[in-house]
Structure 1
């Protein structure tokens, strides 16, 4: 025996099964275009508004003016860059007063034989020694193998009569005394270095010979140009 509640559920299901379902009617209306063929413009695009938005080509006269303006601007830019480069290179060149300090002319007739003149070049003392025949012979007879800084006399002079050397001791930078020391060349009073008449270190703590600056003889060997 089915209960009253179960009978009620069965009757409800039967009523649902016997109802007729009405299909839903679409409310969307179909739209028919006048033409289903796409419109192709001159650019090969399917955009129907392309022809209206197409920008017409510029006039030949305007194009020539544009090219002329661009060419002129490039020419001005290149000229300005060239001028700036020339000014930069000119600024790197030494001025006349700097060139004057870079070299020094000395009249040799004022230096007597057997004496040493001291001049200032680029803020440094320079020794100009007018050597006698005996001093030249002594310098040339030295055994190079016994020297701390081996150099022949010929390697250090352009003319045998004249020795040109920086007046700075190669030990700690003192200024040696001319025509002094055990070898009658130069003697450094700071730490006792002795140099011969060729400016070579012979005794004391100095490790190297006196430096020879760049120089040459000018005006028929009557003047010396240092630097």
Structure 2
């Protein structure tokens, strides 16, 4: 009779033959359901913070520079901002390399601002570093400033042919974005 009483006590406590209680199973099931429910709530909140497809598409820009002649510049758009691509002449390269770094507010050589072996192609953002205006000098017939590069009409910043600040309130040179040549005639920016 003692054996039956012991068996009845274990079974009434919810324990089975291998020592697992029904309550343990219910606890595991409840925690699992709560975890799945939590994921179902958190996933949409996190995924809505991911960039949209149009933003991802604008993260890089390819520009064909085969038609750009020495001395010419073209404008493109990168991340909804103007992008200037200028093919420098031999004279413009010589002038940029001749300017002493000590005379520059933001000292950078032309080699620092271009790719090795492609010193004639200067790629810069077309946004003045003073207050974000768009400098002139990339299109045919625009004022290029006192140094033959770019001129910001908003507050009078003058950049040289390498996009380096020479005169005016701009604190730094025109920004050079990340870019690479995917072929001899195509540049991928971003």
> One fold, TM greater than 0.5?
yes
Task: Tell me the distance in 2 between the aligned counterparts of 1:118 and 1:166.
Answer: 10
Alpha-carbon offset, residue 144 of structure 1: 0.3
Q: What residue number does 1:155 align with?
A: 112
Task: Tell me the distance in 2 between the aligned counterparts of 1:172 and 1:59.
Answer: 79
Question: How many equivalent residue pairs?
Answer: 171
Of residues 105, 120, 123 in structure 2, which corresponds to 1:164?
123
Query: What's the secondary structure of 2:36's corresponding residue?
Result: helix
Q: Which runs of 5+ in 2 are unaligned?
A: 1-7, 16-20, 139-143
Task: Tell me the distance in 2 between the aligned counterparts of 1:152 and 1:189.
Answer: 25
Moved over 6 A (4+): none
Q: What residue number does 2:187 align with?
A: 224
Alpha-carbon offset, residue 122 of structure 1: 2.1
Task: Tell me the distance in 2 between the aligned counterparts of 1:110 and 1:59.
Answer: 88
Task: Tell me the distance in 2 between the aligned counterparts of 1:110 and 1:120.
Answer: 17
Q: What residue number does 2:176 align with?
A: 212
Task: Tell me the distance in 2 between the aligned counterparts of 1:213 and 1:171.
Answer: 17
Q: What residue number does 1:183 align with?
A: 147
Task: Tell me the distance in 2 between the aligned counterparts of 1:120 and 1:184.
Answer: 23
Correspondence 1:120-135 to 2 at 5 A: 120-135=77-92
Larger radius of gyration: 1
Instruction: Mark the CA change 1:77 to 1:141 in structure 2 (over 3 Å): closer, same or farther.
Output: same
Query: What's the secondary structure of 2:137's corresponding residue?
Result: strand
Q: Does 1:117 align with 2:74?
A: yes
Alpha-carbon offset, residue 61 of structure 1: 8.2
TM-score by length of 1: 0.66
Q: Which runs of 5+ in 1 are unaligned?
A: 1-55
Query: What's the secondary structure of 2:176's corresponding residue?
Result: coil
Task: Tell me the distance in 1 between the aligned counterparts of 2:130 and 2:54.
Answer: 32
Query: What's the secondary structure of 2:66's corresponding residue?
Result: helix
- Root mean square deviation, CA, Å: 2.4
Q: Give the structure, 1 or 2, with the largest relative contact order (CA under 8 Å, sep 6 or more).
A: 2
Task: Tell me the distance in 2 between the aligned counterparts of 1:184 and 1:132.
Answer: 12
Query: What's the secondary structure of 1:154's corresponding residue?
Result: helix
Alpha-carbon offset, residue 121 of structure 1: 1.9
Q: Does 1:76 align with 2:33?
A: yes
Task: Tell me the distance in 1 between the aligned counterparts of 2:167 and 2:85.
Answer: 22
TM-score by length of 2: 0.77
